Amino acid sequence: MDSNGNLQGKAILVTGGAKRVGAAIARRLHAAGASLVLHYRSAAAEARSLAAELNAQRDGSAVCIQADLLQTSALPGLVEQSVTAFGRLDGLVNNASSFFRTPLGSIDEAAWDDLVGSNFKAPLFLTQAAAPHLRASGGAVVNITDVHAERPLVGYPLYCAAKGALLTLTRALAAELAPVVRVNAVAPGPILWPEGSDFDSAARQAIVADTLLGREGSPADIARAVHFLLVDSPYITGQVINVDGGRTAHL
Ligand SMILES: NC(=O)c1ccc[n+]([C@@H]2O[C@H](COP(=O)([O-])OP(=O)(O)OC[C@H]3O[C@@H](n4cnc5c(N)ncnc54)[C@H](OP(=O)(O)O)[C@@H]3O)[C@@H](O)[C@H]2O)c1
């Protein structure tokens, strides 16, 4: 894909696309002309409402598909349903993710399955299933990692390791799928605080103080980078863009 940001006639699957960062990515790609498959797990109401919003702008331009990404056997079906919806697949954005503390001593197999499953295993199996369609369309993959993939956050070893694996997978799949399909990553810094109570206001302030720009980013900042990597970067593959206000530039 290389079209000055224009995604008209393209179909893109965004996992976890119903709300928060995923919804911002979906809105941005849709505004550029793409048809959107909004994958969700439990956010059915948000997914339907976003699809209705997008379809009101362009009839028949968005569908929602439910799947638990921990059900690996369901992943080829998610890709096939996406291809059926619009007759093609030009982009896959692996955005869905679980995130919770796992201090050493507390880690059990359920946490491993959830964190590694959503952040690493599902993107691998989804990309594998999507590969023939992406090769046919000359499409691209963008994986949403985290600045903590390379600089682990204390208390979150399993999440950080899973994102680190996704970062390595980004480079490995860029090699596997070259030269037709490009695979890149976007690593967010502080964009939207998690929905739980993991970060108190002192922790939030400390994280933001570590950015060079002195503020949180917005979901739209992530969406911009994803859009660029999907469509306007024909000579970029196997790379990661840190969208973090400069936090990793000096830590
Ligand atoms: N927010 C930030 O500041 C930040 C910072 C660094 C990295 N990131 C990364 O950026 C991406 C988006 O961040 P976010 O904060 O918007 O994410 P989020 O709200 O924590 O999660 C996004 C979606 O992932 C879906 N999901 C989780 N486990 C799933 C599973 N097993 N099967 C299917 N779907 C599953 C959930 O869908 P349902 O709600 O439908 O269940 C959820 O809405 C993530 O990859 C995250 O790791 C975000």
**What's the CA-to-centroid distance between 157 and ligand 1, angstroms?**
17
pLDDT exceeds 90 at position 3: no
Cis peptide before 157 (omega within 30 of 0): no
| Mean pLDDT, range 105-125, rounded to an integer | 98
pLDDT exceeds 90 at position 177: yes
Q: Please say whether the structural domain 11-241 has been given the CATH code 3.40.50.720.
A: yes
Q: Are the C-beta atoms of 141 and 181 separated by less than 8 Å?
A: yes
pLDDT band, residue 79 (cuts 50/70/90): very high
Q: Are the C-beta atoms of 186 and 144 separated by less than 8 Å?
A: yes
Predicted confidence at residue 1, as pLDDT, reads 61
pLDDT exceeds 70 at position 81: yes
Predicted confidence at residue 251, as pLDDT, reads 80
**What's the CA-to-centroid distance between 190 and ligand 1, angstroms?**
13
Q: Where are the domains of the chain?
A: 11-241
Catalytic (active site) residue 159: yes
Instruction: Please state the pTM of the whole predicted model.
Output: 0.98
- Report CA-CA distances (Å) from 101 to 115, 191, 248: 10, 18, 21
